[in-house]
Amino acid sequence: MVPLLQAMDRPCRVDQTRVGIINQSEINAANAGNCEFYVTLGLLRRANDNQLRGVLAHEVAHQDLGHIAKAQVLGAGINILAAGLQQLFPGAASVAPVAGELVARGYGRSEEYAADKHAVDILSRTGYGKDTMLDALTWIRRTSGSGGGGGFLSTHPALDDRIATIQRLR
């Protein structure tokens, strides 16, 4: 299986990739540019492997497409580690807990749709495909009913539209 990072058009070197884990219960993930990614504990705890893969493929796609990073972390200090991430980012320089609150401002709609489309390309190169992206998004739509999807939802276009758009991809 090809790792996500190696499936990029401009792959992030593993030793320059950083993944921060934020102690927040809401489901969220973000790309902060320079091969730096953030995921919330809420995402790690509630997503299965395939859903996590889909969400991260979307964030990796933002990085690969050179979208200007809009994520930052406010605050400092907690310590928890996740195993699922090591699988997706094997050998990443650091998969580390980060203190604070993830603040991810939304990209433009066109950038979001471009990221979904590119995420499907990236997933295909790793032996997965649009089903993984659809699984992730339908899971977030389902989970958001119980108030858990806040972060990822608030910064992204309507899930119904995104799901329909991905379904039309070949």
Nearer to Zn ion, 10 or 76 (CB): 10
Mask: binding to Zn ion, 76-115, rule CB under 5 A, as x and -? Answer: ------------------------------------x--x
Closest CB to Zn ion among 90 and 155?
A: 155
Helices (H), the chain: 41-46, 49-64, 83-88, 109-125, 130-144, 150-154, 159-168
Of 35 and 115, the one with the shorter C-beta distance to Zn ion is 115
Length of the chain: 170
CA distances for 118 relative to 25, 59, 66, 109, 129, angstroms: 28, 10, 12, 14, 11
Q: How many C-beta atoms surround the C-beta of residue 18 within 10 A? A: 19
Q: List Cα–Cα distances, 143 to 47, 128, 136, 137, in angstroms.
A: 10, 23, 10, 10
**At its nearest, how many Å lie between Zn ion and the CB of residue 30?**
8
Site for Zn ion in 19-58 (CB under 5 A): none
Number of residues binding to Zn ion, judged by CB under 5 A: 2
Least distance (Å) between residue 74 CB and Zn ion? 19
Residue number with CB closer to Zn ion (71 or 98): 71
Which residues are near Zn ion by CB under 5 A? 112, 115
